[in-house]
Structure formats: C-alpha cells, structure tokens
Amino acid sequence: MPKDMETDVPAHLTDDKPIETDICVIGGGSGGLSVAAGAVQMGARVVLFERGRMGGDCLNYGCVPSKALLAAGHAAAAARSADRFGVFLPEPEIDFARVHAHVHDVIAGIAPHDSVERFEKLGVQVIQATARFTDGRTVSGGGFRVRARRFVIATGSSAAIPPVAGLSETPYLTNETVFGLTERPAHLLIIGGGPIGCELAEAHRNLGSEVTVIEAAKMLGNEDPDAAALIRAHLEEIGVTLLEGTLVKEASGSDGSIALSVETAGSRQEIRGSHLLVAAGRRANLDGLGLEAAGIETTGTGITVDAGLKTSNRRVYAIGDAAGGLQFTHVAGYHASVVIRNALFRLPSKADMSAVPRVTYTDPELAQVGLLEQEARSKHGEKLRVLKWTYQENDRARAERATAGFIKVVALKNGRVLGATIVGRNAGELIQCWGLAISQKIKIGAIASSIVAYPTLAEIGKRAAGSFFTETLFSPRMRKIVRFLAAFG
C-alpha cells in the first residue's frame, strides 16, 4: 500500500474487500458519470458508487421524461390549433397509457449510454450500493472499502417536501413518481409554480387533465418579470388555474380524492383534485453519506465548496446539485470538467457560473443567461443599455403563427453583453449564442454584424443586437456627415 494511503482501519470494516483507486465517484447521475467516463479514459483508476438507477434523476425522473411528456402534450396542442393554418382536425383522443409508454421508451433508448455495462467496459469499477465515508480518506459500501486519492460527491437532489400539515399522511406525487402514472389525472393539483411546476402543468393540461397550480409567491419568480408574465398568460389561456400568493396550510384525502386548505391574503378556501404533485423546490441528497466523519462541511443548501469545487476536505470535491448551487444537468456536466482538470492534472481550474443558461420548456419557452435586467440595473445603473425585439417583428415567427415572445438583452454602453432573456418559440436554442457572447466576451457589434439565414428565428437576436447602434446610425449628426460627404460627389 502506498505510504499516503496507510491508516488504521476501523474494526467493523475489516471484512470489507479493500480497493485502492485514483478517483472514487459517489453518484451515477450526469455529473458523476461524466467524471467517471472522462477520468477512466484518460488513464485514471475509477470506482463509481450508485445505489439507485444509473443516469440519476435527469434520465429517470427529470429532464428526459419531462421533455418526453411535454412533447406528447405539444402534439395534442398542435392538433387543437391546426385550424390557424386552414387545417381542421377533431379533438385529439389521449391514450395516457401509450403516452406513458412513449415516455419510458425514450428513457430506455438513452439508458444504455449510462448503463453499468457501458461503464464497466470503459474500465470503471461500478459498485451498486450506498456509499458512506468512514474517515477522510475512506468510503465503504457494498462489501468494499475504497481508498482513493480523490473523491467526487455527485449525489444530486430530490424533491423538497414542504412542512404542510397532513401532507405526510396524504398521497402525493413528486418528479420521481409522476411519470409512473398510466392513467390521466382527472384534476392535478400542483404545489409550486417554478419551472418544474409550470412544465408539468402545461403537459398535463394539454393531455386533457384539469390543473391547478398553487404558488406561495409569484409564478416563475426567479425569472424576468416580463417573460414570466407571458408564460402565466399562456398557462391561463390553455385553462390552467393559477393561485399566486397562496399558501397551502393543510392537506388531506386518499388516492383519487385530495383536498387542500389554502390561504390567499388571509382568506381560506378548500380546493379539491384527484392527484397532488409536490414541485416546491429541491434539496441536496446528503443523508447517510457520513460527511462528518470525512470533515466535510455543509450548509442548508448543500456541501460547501470553493471556486474549484473542493470541499473542506482537500481530497473531496462536490459537483452538481450536491454542491448547493444552480440545479441543472448541464451545470453538473460543466462541474465534471472542472473537477477533472483539478483532480487529474492539478490545474487551478475554477467554476465560472456567469454564463449558465436555464430554460423552462413550456410553449413558449423561457430561456435566460447571465444577468436579469433588474440585476444588471442594480450593478451598473446608468451604464446599462436594454435592447428588445419581438417575435411579432420576425417573418419566420409570422409564417408559423408563433409570434408570442421577445428577446431582451442587457449590455453596457461599451457593447459588453451582460445577459439575455428570450421567451418564445425555440428560446432554449436561441439563447446559446448569448451565453457564448458572455463567456467569451464577444461584444454586441459582432452579433449585429453576423449573417444569419432568412427567414429564421435567429434574426430576432441579430435585430436586437443591431438596435444597439440605432441611436448613433440614425442620429442628426450622422445625417449631417452623410450630407457633407455627398457634397464631394
């Protein structure tokens, strides 16, 4: 055993099979799998613990099934609105069992990429068991005692359950169980009006369910208010009941019959539905990891990490939702690349979170990267320029009758892009160039002078960028210059 791995082994672990490795990853979700695959293919010895399903929350209970369900709902919505194009279709018939099969077929199609078999072929030793730190250098689980040069905690997060009276005795769904339904909910009650609540509200409403969303504050309260207002209007237009500024005080009922006592501005009422979905935020999965034994500090939101994602134990990193920051699959993947540079190559790599995009996949979509307008104003005040262009002014959007939406870009007067918000068709795709502009410090002029195909929705961003120069190009001073130059023939 190398000298730096010598230690006294607790007596209760002497029967565990010892393993020495370079990297030990705890959690087989997107972040953990990215670390494991990258490290082993670069020559490191890797052990991976996963107690549940490979692929983690994103593949099995989050991004993938929710987008598959949304796609089914969008297909139904498209049939209902086809008359806009002179195409008349009957009201779509929804076979919810086949919708369920579609969702799980999508998961099954992706699962082999994240499977135990694939990772073992890559050279990763996969242990399908719960992992627990027994000291600052050792993790045990599944009959193994693993000593590693570096550990990576990538355990993700789970639905946070609010402290509502009676909720623990009331049947409720979370993102881990809602995609298991094979029968359409007659009336789905949703606690939480964030991105998850809004997406699942739209999907189920489009598929024929009655839907009521209860939000304690404002729907999509962390997003640009103008953009969030458009999503709220869309949900109400398709028939979703929205209760904002409303607290759930008590829950009761049984399968198929749920009652919530809610309070709005001091006034109580009871609302009833067939199913209850809790989508009131997320909490990091840290229970049972033995973090205290490893000297790993935590806060109320997750594990405490520095800019390089290292914990208070210098041998341990935390990434993704476990690190208590932005809870997105793409953040976990980005964190994985930072950790690989730090852990394998000893490079002083830091996580730069200034250009992380986020998308709510309703229709219209809402995408954001960088600073919101109100954040930019508080930091830069009069130095700020706000640029806006609407989908209504875009020929492709008109052709497809998808004119609801806009882009809003916040930039400094020197042309540096600080943030962008897009709400509208394909906003999640269109936001990418603005993340690139922020991360690579590309100024607004480069986007304004780019050539985009006509007719595309990408012209919306180019037009917004071009408006940065409108005041200068079409000013009285510029007209005088043009007339002066014209005098010379």
Residue pair 358/364 in contact (Cβ under 8 Å)? The answer is no
- Please determine whether the domains at 3-54+115-158+283-345 and 358-473 fall in the same fold group of CATH: no
- The 3-state DSSP class for residue 19 equals strand
Candidate CATH numbers 2.40.50.140, 3.90.1640.10, 3.30.390.30, 3.50.30.60; the one for domain 358-473: 3.30.390.30
- For the beta carbon of residue 309, count every other beta carbon within 10 angstroms: 25
> CA 356, 75, 98 angle in degrees (round to 5)?
105
Q: In terms of Cα–Cα distance, which of 19, 39, 21 is closest to 31?
A: 39
- Helix and strand counts by DSSP (H, E) for the chain: 16, 21
Q: Which of these ranges, 88-92, 186-190, 377-381, 482-486, has the smallest mean pLDDT? A: 482-486
Q: For 370-399, how does the pLDDT look when each residue is reduced to its tens digit (9 = 90+)? A: 999 999 999 998 889 999 999 999 999 999
Residue pair 124/90 in contact (Cβ under 8 Å)? The answer is no
Using 50, 70 and 90 to split pLDDT, how confident is the model at 9?
Answer: very low
Using 50, 70 and 90 to split pLDDT, how confident is the model at 484?
Answer: confident
* pLDDT value, residue 14: 55
| Site of tokens 């500024």 | 245
Question: What angle do helix axes 30-41 and 329-345 make, rounded to 10 degrees?
Answer: 30
**DSSP per-residue letters across 34-62:** HHHHHHHHTT--EEEE-SS-TTHHHHHTS
Alpha carbon distances (Å) from 423 to 231, 370, 393, 478: 8, 15, 14, 34
Using 50, 70 and 90 to split pLDDT, how confident is the model at 325?
Answer: very high
CATH architecture of structural domain 167-280: 3-Layer(bba) Sandwich (3.50)
Helices (H), 307-453: 329-345, 373-380, 395-399, 427-430, 432-439, 444-448
Q: In terms of Cα–Cα distance, which of 348, 392, 370, 321 is closest to 155?
A: 321
Q: In terms of Cα–Cα distance, which of 404, 399, 406 is closest to 456?
A: 399
Rounded to an integer, the average pLDDT of 11-28 is 85
Beta strand 275-278 pairing with 210-214? unpaired
* pLDDT value, residue 158: 96
Work out the percent of the chain whose per-residue pLDDT is above 70.
Answer: 97
Q: Where is pLDDT greater, at 7 or 163?
A: 163
Q: In terms of Cα–Cα distance, which of 64, 446, 431, 382 is closest to 224?
A: 431
Beta strand 316-318 pairing with 246-254? unpaired
Instruction: Please state the length of the chain.
Output: 489
Residue type, 485: L
- Whether domain 3-54+115-158+283-345 has CATH 3.50.50.60: the reply is yes
Question: What angle do helix axes 96-110 and 63-80 make, rounded to 10 degrees?
Answer: 140
Using 50, 70 and 90 to split pLDDT, how confident is the model at 8?
Answer: very low
* pLDDT value, residue 189: 98
* pLDDT value, residue 479: 78
pTM of this prediction?
0.93
Residue boundaries of the structural domains of the chain: 3-54+115-158+283-345, 167-280, 358-473
Q: For 443-458, how does the pLDDT look when each residue is reduced to its tens digit (9 = 90+)? A: 999 999 999 999 999 9
Rounded to an integer, the average pLDDT of 358-364 is 98
* pLDDT value, residue 470: 84
Question: What span, in angstroms and rounded, lies between the C-alpha atoms of 65 and 271?
Answer: 28
Task: List the structure tokens of 408.
Answer: 């809003």
Q: For 121-156, how does the pLDDT look when each residue is reduced to its tens digit (9 = 90+)? A: 999 999 999 999 999 999 999 999 999 999 999 999
Rounded to an integer, the average pLDDT of 166-187 is 98
* pLDDT value, residue 385: 96
Task: Give yes or no for residue 57 having a pLDDT over 60.
Answer: yes
Q: In terms of Cα–Cα distance, which of 277, 242, 283 is closest to 170?
A: 277
Q: What value does the mean pLDDT of the chain take?
A: 95
